[in-house]
């Protein structure tokens, strides 16, 4: 039944409103796996196995760890492990994804023979989005700046159930400004695929306790559910500790993996994001004008000789 609400120059047709199914929780998964260094065929097969398992579980989104197709300690053979987005392995996984969103990592050979630590989103045989790692880890035993070109942009992408996704790779999260930026770009679901290890020679930055603190802080501060997909296994001197988890928009851990290969599944609820951001409006109150003005002012001052600034 419908009725009309009228006033001069304005007519609305009011009908019975159907329930908004888009607000139903989205079932999402993290694949906590070991990765065979340099063995593309074995890694592809493992990805196919976990894609099948996630589909059977009714998942709409599946996230694999950083560099999940090639491994982390690539060394001098890195250029031989680079792949374009048209590589048969990428196409095979994109097709296998079917109607599920799947995120996995590899070494992308991009424009002008530049190599990137990349994480790609695929669905239905298509590449929908690519994130190039922005904050390359280049300290201790990590030499990412030696092998990869840094990414240049923060972007987001549309998922279902009203979610807008963003990907930040491992040490991208060690730059809080990047998390702030993805939130301002509209992200309501953050995907974090790292290669976090226990090695002490990297400045003790990869301790599980620190990750736990950071993840809960970011989720709570921005009302931002997080899928944290860390890997297992060893690549001398790195021992990857797993600890994959899914956090809700209030910073609560709703699912966490043990020290084993596993498919971690949980619901992420857009209504939780709405509630969290109403109660703690960090994104609303970010004062973008002030940030833009002050960053621009610092850009023109830091490292600039006084004689140039005063000219």
Give the mean model confidence (pLDDT) for residues 112-141.
93
- Identify the band that residue 8 occupies on the pLDDT scale cut at 50, 70 and 90: low
pLDDT at 6 over 70: no
Report the C-alpha gap between 126 and 130 in whole angstroms: 12
Task: Using a pLDDT cut of 90, give the percent of the chain over it.
Answer: 74
Say which residues have a Cβ less than 8 Å from residue 221's Cβ, sequence separation at least 6: 280, 282
CA dist 82 and 260 (Å) reads 28
CA separation (Å) from 190 to 82, 156, 162, 169, 273?
Answer: 26, 10, 14, 10, 12
State the burial class of residue 255 (Cβ atoms within 10 Å of its Cβ: 0-12, 13-18, 19+). middle
pLDDT, tens only, 230-263: 999 998 888 999 999 999 999 999 999 999 999 9
Q: Which two tokens stand for residue 44?
A: 């592809």
Flag the least confident range among 96-105, 192-201, 235-244. 192-201
Residue 207 contacts by C-beta under 8 Å, 6 or more apart in sequence? Answer: 198
Per-residue model confidence (pLDDT) at position 132: 97
* Helix 40-56 vs helix 88-97: crossing angle, to nearest 10: 10
Neighbouring residues of 308: CB distance < 8 A, sequence distance ≥ 6: none
pLDDT computed for residue 48 by the predictor: 98
Placement of tokens 């939780």 in the chain? 272
CB-based contacts of 20, cutoff 8 Å, min separation 6: none
More confident residue, 306 or 155: 155
In sequence order, the 6+-apart residues with CB closer than 8 A to the CB of 220 are: 250, 251, 276, 280
Q: How far is CA 67 from CA 43, 140, 144, in A?
A: 10, 19, 12
Between 3.60.110.10, 3.40.50.300, 3.40.640.10, 2.60.15.10, what CATH number should domain 24-309 receive? 3.60.110.10
Preceding peptide of 237 cis, ω within 30°: yes
Q: Give the lowest-confidence range in 36-50, 76-90, 198-212, 294-308.
A: 198-212
Bridge partners, 158 (sequence order): 164
The Cα 43–Cα 53 span in angstroms is 15
- Could you tell me the pLDDT band of residue 161, with boundaries at 50, 70 and 90? confident
Can you tell me the distance from the alpha carbon of 165 to that of 131, in angstroms, rounded to the nearest whole number? 11
Distances (CA, A) of 5 to 9, 10, 16, 17, 19: 11, 8, 14, 15, 22
Residue 62's pLDDT is what?
98
What does the pLDDT read at residue 301?
A: 86
Report the pLDDT averaged over residues 58-72. 97
Which residues on neighbouring strands pair with residue 123, listed in sequence order?
A: 126
Asked if 209 and 157 count as a contact pair (C-beta separation under 8 A), the reply is no
pLDDT for the residue 310: 73
Position 201 scores a pLDDT of 58
Using a pLDDT cut of 70, give the percent of the chain over it.
88
pTM of the model: 0.89
Q: What is the model's pLDDT at position 147?
A: 87
Between 260 and 139, where is the model more confident?
260
Task: Give the model's confidence band at 4: pLDDT under 50 very low, under 70 low, under 90 confident, else very high.
Answer: very low
Q: Compute the mean pLDDT over every residue in the chain, rounded to the nearest whole number.
A: 90
Confidence at residue 3, expressed as pLDDT on a 0 to 100 scale: 45
């Amino acid at each position: 039944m419908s009725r009309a609400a009228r006033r001069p120059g304005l007519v609305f047709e009011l009908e019975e409103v159907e329930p908004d199914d888009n607000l139903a929780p989205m079932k999402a998964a993290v694949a906590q796996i070991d990765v065979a260094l340099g063995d593309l065929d074995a890694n592809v097969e493992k990805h196919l196995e976990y894609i099948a398992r996630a589909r059977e579980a009714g998942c709409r989104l599946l996230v694999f760890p950083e560099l999940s197709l090639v491994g982390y300690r690539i060394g001098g053979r890195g250029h031989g492990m680079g792949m374009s987005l048209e590589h048969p392995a990428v196409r095979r996984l994109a097709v296998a994804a079917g109607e599920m969103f799947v995120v996995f990592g590899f070494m992308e050979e991009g424009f002008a023979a530049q190599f990137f630590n990349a994480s790609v989103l695929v669905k239905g045989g298509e590449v929908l989005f690519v994130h190039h790692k922005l904050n390359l880890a280049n300290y201790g035993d990590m030499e990412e700046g030696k092998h990869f070109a840094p990414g240049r942009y923060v972007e987001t992408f549309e998922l279902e159930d009203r979610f807008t996704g963003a990907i930040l790779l491992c040490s991208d999260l060690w730059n809080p400004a990047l998390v702030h930026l993805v939130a301002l770009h509209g992200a309501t679901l953050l995907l974090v695929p790292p290669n976090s290890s226990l090695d002490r020679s990297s400045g003790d930055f990869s301790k599980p306790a620190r990750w736990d603190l950071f993840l809960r802080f970011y989720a709570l501060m921005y009302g931002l559910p997080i899928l944290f997909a860390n890997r297992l296994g060893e690549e001398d001197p790195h021992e990857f500790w797993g600890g994959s988890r899914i956090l809700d928009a209030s910073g609560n851990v709703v699912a966490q993996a043990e020290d084993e290969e596993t498919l971690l599944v949980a619901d992420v609820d857009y209504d939780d994001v709405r509630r969290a951001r109403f109660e703690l409006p960090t994104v609303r109150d970010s004062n973008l004008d002030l940030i833009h003005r002050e960053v621009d002012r610092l850009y023109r001052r830091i490292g600039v000789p006084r004689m140039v600034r005063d000219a």
